[in-house]
Chain A
């Protein structure tokens, strides 16, 4: 196979600090290349150089043997590079066809030729097996479908190289499966794919070659077939990780700390009941739309509950968010950027946000800065948050994993009896994932109850005492640790009647 894109001693420095060190690599045409590495390993820098967002400090890029120096993103697009980003860049208020043609509307007599637009869009959509009308508004599409529209856009521009950056983070397993089929099809059509993901199983499954970056250097380039996930992790972090999950340090206690009885909210939850013991980690698995995040919001008091009762430490749990926090409920939201962090505020202000009222001195609630600084510094050390001066550095400047530690950290400034962790490891690299798991274990060992919500079944199986499965707002079943089975849990989550189904206590 011919080489489509090659890098020769490619180097990028930011203010003298190398982010990519003399990378030499060939990407062959028609290949799916998985790119992995911890956050900060240089993946984004490399992609930004391919996309014309930043220029290399030294070294050379070649496109089909020709020197390739994109000065701006549109140069890269013109050559045939397309990006499918984590956060999609679609205009949700426009139709599919309008999105695809947004930068070159076909015109006839100075008017937009809508018929031509529709026809071409329909062709592209059928190529991708997306069965919706070209005039459908993008905001009515599911995340997976939106991604296919992005791909259609790339195909419309005759992209040669399609770069997927964490494409599966907001997709359901079904949508992910469909995306992978699409990628297979693109490869069969001779397109070259760069696939960046933290989900190493996916990378192995999908790629022909896997490229590992660490500290801005190429540390491995292996055929995916013989490159197993533990080896990938070793290459990424430069040492063997003692297992993916920490050992649990304490067994759950006997007393029931939190219980939900017959929760119902029309269209969201139906007769959901379950208990969590003190010191227990209860996993909650379900597909998107199963009601798992919605239930978390209801327990935290963000959304209304029509029927049913919540009990924490034998007292009914009622009222708004503030009442629940006062009672000892902590909620790590799945949407870190929009709901978890004050992105532009310093890290210390983020850490102290939940407990800030405890640092006010009567009568005017003047802040006790000395105590506040001491506590936030302590937390930074304790949680190994990799940051400079937390009083000035904004949360935005942290990597995903460290941002997530800040989101969790703000709940650790005070004691909570129930921790709701909604997708706590989404978009977080392997090393930080391990630290977050260890933290969940520590919370449980200290006697708190943890409700761990995730769409990664593996991590639930690695960390939880029990796993509860939901589908369409109903509890489908509950598995004890001894009975964990990926197949049975998945089957149940997809709504198939699993044999030997136990109903939640």
Chain B
């Protein structure tokens, strides 16, 4: 632009140099990366007097433990939304890979439950899965889960990148096929009797707190509140790696470029197809790590683990964080806060003793509000109003 006729957007950006007014300060908070975090804290503080149980240690530990697995899955979704895609198959990957891990690792299985399943006798029987009791078996089983999840993601990516099929369609079909396959494998039964070391991944902790007198030699498990847990360490590690990948690598720049304008990216020599395949693979691998956390917490492999409203939670939390459904805009830190808000919201609605129908209606309304906020923020940034 020539120096004569600045666009409103520039004029606006120059203004904060002057003393900011209340309106400007509010706008800056609204546009900040931490907006959703502020919102969550405000929400928490407002509800604290009405829901006394909200702030007690057991509930806080509960909120955190609900947060980690969802965060890992939502991080995968963040990559996909940033390239202007969508991954509807994450829930089915969660269910399927939880079954894969469990059928390889179960120490024993009951014929009453699983004898009708096609895996009975082939992979699993009364003596458990092929990796039960094998040294390093857990690592092998996790590798197998990640390979299975990664392959599903890569297949999604290949169909989308090379055949230019819409992500919505491709991942919808994957969702249907993979959930059906997972249910078929166990005939809709759960696989239990997982090894203790495996369960530790979902339930174990490093720092835990016990409030109260120690009058017995053993403290009942449910009275110990875990804060620094294995799921937390796993989720935070995934988040840090994802944050670096998205914001500090060549790959991350290419992800944003594709999400902003795929054709311009192609013409500028971005390896568009490779990046798309990689992004959908990341999404499925994140779902797999999520499956590991969910399934070990449940102490079972369950084909329907990612069914129902799970997808609503994942996409809802990601969008609430601020990642745009239109692509080109996404940050891992936003997703962290979005997931926190979403988990907090679900938790408070539970504490209010609302029915699950009410809870879903409220969640839906919140997601619509988040989408609206996204539009509003974009407009504010562009200076259109």
Task: Mark A residues whose CB is within 8 Å of B.
Answer: 14-17, 19, 38-42, 44-45, 214-216, 300, 302, 321-322, 325, 331, 333, 338-345, 349, 352-354, 356-357, 359-360, 364-367, 369, 386-388, 392-393, 396-399, 402, 410, 431
CB closest chain-A residue, reference B266: A321
Q: Are B261 and A364 in contact (CB under 8 A)?
A: no
Chain B residues whose CB sits within 8 angstroms of the CB of A356 once the complex forms:
250, 253-254, 270
Beyond the given pairs A353-B265, A356-B250, A369-B248, 18 more chain A to chain B contacts, judged by CB atoms under 8 angstroms and listed by A's residue number, are: A15-B14, A39-B1, A40-B3, A215-B2, A331-B267, A341-B261, A342-B260, A345-B256, A345-B257, A352-B253, A353-B270, A356-B270, A365-B249, A388-B14, A393-B13, A397-B1, A397-B9, A399-B1
- Expressed in whole angstroms, the Cα–Cα distance for A396 and B12 within the complex equals 15
Chain B residues whose CB sits within 8 angstroms of the CB of A38 once the complex forms:
2, 4
Q: How far is the CB of A85 from chain B (nearest CB, A)?
A: 18
Chain B residues whose CB sits within 8 angstroms of the CB of A410 once the complex forms:
268
Known: A345-B328, A367-B249. A354 touches B268 (CB 8 A): yes
Q: Are A341 and B15 in contact (CB under 8 A)?
A: no
What would be 22 A-B contacts, judged by CB atoms less than 8 Å apart? A14-B6, A14-B7, A15-B12, A15-B15, A19-B6, A39-B5, A40-B1, A215-B3, A215-B4, A215-B5, A322-B271, A325-B269, A340-B264, A342-B260, A342-B265, A342-B328, A343-B261, A357-B250, A360-B250, A367-B249, A367-B250, A402-B1
- Expressed in whole angstroms, the Cα–Cα distance for A357 and B269 within the complex equals 10
Q: Are A349 and B253 in contact (CB under 8 A)?
A: yes
Q: Are A338 and B264 in contact (CB under 8 A)?
A: yes
Known: A338-B264, A367-B248. A19 touches B253 (CB 8 A): no
- Expressed in whole angstroms, the Cα–Cα distance for A17 and B256 within the complex equals 33
8 Å CB contact of A40 from B4, B251, B254, B261: B4
Chain A residues whose CB sits within 8 angstroms of the CB of B257 once the complex forms:
342, 345, 349, 353
Check: B11 CB closer than 8 A to any chain A CB.
yes
Q: Are B5 and A397 in contact (CB under 8 A)?
A: no
8 Å CB contact of B10 from A216, A388, A431: A388
Q: Are A14 and B8 in contact (CB under 8 A)?
A: yes
Q: Are A17 and B11 in contact (CB under 8 A)?
A: yes
Interface code B299-333, partner A: CB below 8 Å = 1, 0 otherwise? 00000000000000000000000000000110000
Q: How far is the CB of B128 from chain A (nearest CB, A)?
A: 39
Interface residues of B in 232-288 (CB under 8 A from A): 244, 248-251, 253-254, 256-257, 260-261, 263-271
8 Å CB contact of A366 from B1, B249, B263: B249
- Expressed in whole angstroms, the Cα–Cα distance for A180 and B193 within the complex equals 83
> What interface size band does chain B fall in?
35 or more
Residue among A38, A42, A214, A321 with the most chain B CB within 10 A?
A321
Interface residues of B in 1-55 (CB under 8 A from A): 1-15
Q: Which 6 A-B pairs have the closest CB atoms?
A: A40-B5, A15-B11, A40-B2, A215-B4, A360-B250, A342-B260
Q: How far is the CB of A268 from chain B (nearest CB, A)?
A: 18
CB closest chain-A residue, reference B12: A15
Chain A residues whose CB sits within 8 angstroms of the CB of B3 once the complex forms:
40, 215, 386
Task: Mark B residues whose CB is within 8 Å of A.
Answer: 1-15, 244, 248-251, 253-254, 256-257, 260-261, 263-271, 328-329, 382
Q: Are B269 and A354 in contact (CB under 8 A)?
A: yes
Q: How far is the CB of A216 from chain B (nearest CB, A)?
A: 6
- Expressed in whole angstroms, the Cα–Cα distance for A397 and B12 within the complex equals 12
- Expressed in whole angstroms, the Cα–Cα distance for A302 and B253 within the complex equals 22
Chain A residues whose CB sits within 8 angstroms of the CB of B11 once the complex forms:
14-17
CB closest chain-B residue, reference A359: B250
Q: How far is the CB of A19 from chain B (nearest CB, A)?
A: 5
Chain B residues whose CB sits within 8 angstroms of the CB of A344 once the complex forms:
260, 328-329
Chain B residues whose CB sits within 8 angstroms of the CB of A44 once the complex forms:
5
- Expressed in whole angstroms, the Cα–Cα distance for A161 and B303 within the complex equals 68
- Expressed in whole angstroms, the Cα–Cα distance for A39 and B271 within the complex equals 35
- Expressed in whole angstroms, the Cα–Cα distance for A399 and B9 within the complex equals 13
Known: A356-B253, A360-B250, A364-B249. A338 touches B263 (CB 8 A): yes
Q: How far is the CB of A297 from chain B (nearest CB, A)?
A: 9
- Expressed in whole angstroms, the Cα–Cα distance for A24 and B13 within the complex equals 31
Q: Are B256 and A349 in contact (CB under 8 A)?
A: yes
Residue among A14, A42, A322 with the most chain B CB within 10 A?
A14
CB closest chain-A residue, reference B5: A40
Residue among B244, B250, B270, B382 with the most chain A CB within 10 A?
B250
Chain B residues whose CB sits within 8 angstroms of the CB of A388 once the complex forms:
10, 13-14
Q: How far is the CB of B250 from chain A (nearest CB, A)?
A: 4
- Expressed in whole angstroms, the Cα–Cα distance for A6 and B168 within the complex equals 54
- Expressed in whole angstroms, the Cα–Cα distance for A366 and B244 within the complex equals 8
Q: Are A216 and B263 in contact (CB under 8 A)?
A: no
- Expressed in whole angstroms, the Cα–Cα distance for A374 and B180 within the complex equals 53
CB closest chain-A residue, reference B8: A14
Q: Are A41 and B249 in contact (CB under 8 A)?
A: no
- Expressed in whole angstroms, the Cα–Cα distance for A19 and B11 within the complex equals 11
Q: How far is the CB of A324 from chain B (nearest CB, A)?
A: 9
- Expressed in whole angstroms, the Cα–Cα distance for A42 and B1 within the complex equals 11
8 Å CB contact of B5 from A16, A42, A342, A392: A42
Chain B residues whose CB sits within 8 angstroms of the CB of A342 once the complex forms:
256-257, 260-261, 264-265, 328
Q: How far is the CB of B256 from chain A (nearest CB, A)?
A: 7
Q: How far is the CB of A258 from chain B (nearest CB, A)?
A: 19
- Expressed in whole angstroms, the Cα–Cα distance for A365 and B260 within the complex equals 21
8 Å CB contact of A367 from B5, B253, B268: B253
Q: How far is the CB of A103 from chain B (nearest CB, A)?
A: 24
Q: Are A45 and B5 in contact (CB under 8 A)?
A: yes
Q: Are B267 and A214 in contact (CB under 8 A)?
A: no
- Expressed in whole angstroms, the Cα–Cα distance for A44 and B1 within the complex equals 13
Q: Are B4 and A41 in contact (CB under 8 A)?
A: yes
Q: Are A216 and B4 in contact (CB under 8 A)?
A: yes
